[in-house]
Amino acid sequence: MNAVVTASGLSKRYKNTLALDNVNFQIPAGRIVGLIGPNGAGKTTALKAILGLTDFQGQLNVLGLDPRSQRDKLMEEVCFIADVAVLPRWIRVREAIDFVANIHPRFNRAKCEAFLARTKLTPDQRVKQMSKGMIVQLHLALVMAIDAKLLVLDEPTLGLDILYRKQFYQNLLEDYFDENKTIIVTTHQVEEIEHILTDLMFIRDGKIVLNTDMEAMGERFAEVMVSADMAATARQLKPLDERQVFGKSIFLFDGIDQAQLRALGEIRRPSVSDLFVATMKGTYA
Amino acid sequence: MKTLYWLVKREFWEHRGGFLWTPVITGSLFLLMTLLSITSFEAFGLRNNMFHMGDWNFTHHVDADTTKNFGKFLDLMMCISASAILGIMAIVIFFYCLGALYDDRKDKSVLFWQSLPIANWKTVVSKVASAIFIAPAIAAVLGVITGAVLVLVTACVASLHGLSVWAGLTEAHPIRLVTNILGLIPLYAVCALPTIGWLMLCSAWARSKPFLWALIIPLATTFAVWWLHLLGMPGLNAQWFFSHVASRVLFEVIPGNWLSFINPMYAGSQGEEVFEHLDLLRNYSALASGELWLGVIAGAAMLAVAAWLRRWRDDT
C-alpha cells in the first residue's frame, strides 16, 4: 500500500495538555479523509505535525519525508488552506499569482487564471477589499493550480455562506481531486462534506476513536427506528445512542448483525453527524 | 536566486509606501520648500528694492573662484538632500525591521507564506537585503535626483543674477557624487548589521510589542550595568556599554554608521571638503576595525537565531 501519511506513536504535549496521545494511522493515496473531532481534540495539532509546523514525538512520514527536517522539500508536494491562514491583506490578486508562479515549481498559471475567470475577482484587487468568501476563492484558485500530492484543509469554509461553501467543495471535487491526490479535511460542518468523504477519522482527547472508510462504516453502524413496544428489546443490544422522534425511538448500533436489527424496525445508514454526536457524548461534561 | 529575487520583490510590494513613496514625498517637500524660499527671497528683494535685476548682478565681478565656490555649493546641496532622504529612510528601515518577522505572525498570513516551499533563511535573507540594500539604494538614487533638480533650480535662479549655469555645473561633480554615495551603501550595509540583526531578532521573538522589547532590553541592560557599577562591581562602565553595545544594536541604521570606525590616519582625497568626507578609500578604512567585525558577527548570529525562531516560535 502506498501510504501518503503514516503516523506511529505520534504524540504532542503542550505545557500541561496532551494534544496527541500515541496516535497511529495511515492514509493511502487517492482518498478524501475527514478528520473530525470536538474543539481542542487535537485535529489542528495533527495537521500541523503533518505540515511540519510543530515538533512532536514518535514517527511521522509524509510522502516519504520527515516533516520536521525536510519541510522545505515537503511543501513542494503539499498544499494547505486553513481558516486562519489568511492571505496577507496588502497583496493584490496579480501579485499573489506572480509570486506563487515564480516560487512554486508545480504551479500552473493558466489553470489558476481559468479558475479566477469564473469569479468576480479582478487582477488589481487587494485582499483587504475582498469578502471572506472571495479570499477563500483566491486561495483555492492558487492551491488548485498547484499539482500537489496532498492537500490539507483546516476548517476551510469557516465563516462562509452556504453558496461559497457548496461551491468550494464542488470545485474541489470536479476540478481538483483525482486518484493521485489525497485530501485531508477538518470541519465542523460535517453534513456538507459527508458525501464527498471516502474515509472518516474521529479524534477525541488526542486519540483516534474511529478510523474507517465510508463503506465499512455503513456496514458496521446502523440506525434503526423502533416503535415503543420493541424499545426494551432494542436497549438490550446496547445501542450507542437513543433518541425519540414522533413517539418512536431511533437507536444507533455498532457492530450488530443487520438481520437481527431488521426485526426491530426500519434500518438506515446513520449520518456522520449523528454518529459523531453519539461517539463524542460527554466530551464537554 | 530566483526565489530570493521574488522574495525581495514581495517585500517591495508590501512596503512600497515606506521604500518608495516616503523618499519621493520627502524629496518633493524638500523641493517645494526650496522653491518657496527662493521665491519669497526674490520677492522680498524686489519689493524692498534691495537688488534689481541689474544691480545684484555678479557678471562684473565673477571670477574663477566664485564659479568654483558655486560649484562647491551645488555639490553640497546635492549631498545634503541625499543625506536628508537617507536619514528619513533610516527611520523607515528601523520600523521595517521591527515589523519584518512580526506583522505576518500577527495577522496569521505567516501560515500562507509557510505553505509555500520557501526556506526560512531565504525569507530572512530577503528581508535583510531589502533593509540594507534595496531601501538605501532607492533612497540614495531619489536623494541624488532631488539634489540634481535642486541644483538645476538654484543654477537657473543664479543665472538670473549673472552667474553662468554652465560654469557652475561644470564646477559641480554630480556623477562623482552619485558614485561615491552609491559606493558607500555596501559599507553602510555591513555596519548596519548589528542593529538589523537585533531588530529582526526582536521581531521574530516578540509575541507582542516588538518595539518596546527592542528598546527596553538594551536600555535596561545599560541601567543594570550602571547599577552594578554603583554597587562596586569592578570593570563595569555603563557609558562604554551604552556606546559600544546598546547604541550599536539600536542606532546603526543611521547613515554614516561607519564613521566612528574610520582610522584618522587615512586622509581623504585632496580637494573639496564634500569629497573628503565621501572619499571611498577613507570611509572603507573603517573595515580595518575589529570592533566593526565583531558587530557584524553578532548581527549575523542574531539573524540566524531569528530564522530559527521563525520556524518554531508560534508552536503553541
pLDDT tops 80 at residue B315: no
**Amino acid making up residue B74:** L
Nearest to A89 among B107, B119, B315 (CB): B107
Among A58-62, B5-9, B308-312, which is the least confidently predicted range?
A: B308-312
Of B109, B116, B117, the CB nearest to A86: B109
Q: Could you tell me if B116 lies within 8 Å of chain A, comparing CB atoms? A: yes
Identify all chain B residues contacting A107, using CB atoms and an 8 Å cutoff. Answer: none
Q: What is the pLDDT of residue B123?
A: 94
CA distances from B223 to A131, B59, B201, B206, B241 (A): 49, 62, 21, 22, 10
Best of A45, A86, A147 to disrupt the B interface (most B CBs within 10 Å) is A86
Cell numbers that stand for A224 in this block:
434503526
Contact B139, B241 (CB under 8 A): no
Q: Is B316 on the interface with A (CB under 8 A)?
A: yes
Mutation target to probe the B interface, by most B beta carbons within 10 A, among A57, A70, A89, A99 is A99
Of the listed ranges A118-127, A158-167, B42-51, the least confidently predicted one is B42-51
Q: Higher model confidence: residue B259 or residue B99?
A: B99
- Residue for grid cell 564613521: B259
For B7, the enclosing helix (H) or strand (E) is helix B2-14
pLDDT for res B269: 54
Task: Report the residue from B3, B7, B104 with minimal CB separation from A88.
Answer: B104
The candidate with the shortest Cα–Cα distance to A217, out of A278, A150, A282, is A278
**Number of domains chain B is built from:** 1
Residue A267 pairs with which residues in a beta bridge? A224
Burial A158-189 (b: 16+ CB within 10 A, else e): eebeeebbebbbebbeeebbeeebbbbbbbbe
Flag whether residue A59 sits within 8 Å of chain B, measured between CB atoms: no
Q: Does residue B20 have a pLDDT over 90?
A: yes
Q: A87 with A34: CB under 8 angstroms?
A: no
Measured between beta carbons, which residues in chain B are less than 8 angstroms from residue A79? 115
Residue A81 near residue B94, CB atoms below 8 Å: no
CB proximity B117 to A under 8 Å: yes
Question: What is the reported pLDDT for B141?
Answer: 87
Asked if the model's pLDDT at residue A196 lies above 60, the reply is yes
Nearest to B115 among A85, A102, A105 (CB): A85
Lookup: cell for A8: 506511529
Task: Name the phi and psi angles at A270, rounded to 5.
Answer: -70, 150
Q: How many CB pairs under 8 A join A and B?
A: 73
**Could you tell me the three cell numbers for B45?**
528683494
Chain centroid to CA B163: 33
pLDDT at A262: 81
Count of Cβ atoms closer than 10 Å to residue B41 Cβ: 11
Angle at B148 between CA B257 and CA B65, to 5 degrees: 95
Q: Are β-strands A207-213 and A199-204 bridged in parallel, bridged antiparallel, or unpaired?
A: antiparallel
Least confident of B35-44, B63-72, B181-190, B220-229: B63-72
For residues A57 and A8, give the distance between their C-alpha atoms in angstroms, rounded to a whole number.
10
Q: Mean of the per-residue pLDDT values for chain B?
A: 85
Q: Which residues contact A269 (CB under 8 A, 6 or more apart)?
A: A218, A221, A222, A223
DSSP per-residue codes, B110-141: HHHHHTSS--HHHHHHHHHHIIIIIHHHHHHH
Predicted pLDDT at A92? 95
Give chain A positions within 8 Å (CB) of B118: 72, 75, 103
Q: Are A112 and A139 in contact (CB under 8 A)?
A: no
Q: What is the ipTM of this complex?
A: 0.86
Check pLDDT > 80 for residue A219: yes
Grid cell for residue A6: 503514516
Q: Which amino acid is at B286?
A: A
The pLDDT of residue B212 is 95
| Portion of chain A with pLDDT greater than 90, in percent | 37
Look at B167 and A179; give whichever has higher pLDDT.
Answer: A179
Over range B158-184, report the average pLDDT: 78
Structural domain of residue B105, as residue ranges? 2-312
A103 interfaces chain B, CB cutoff of 8 Å: yes
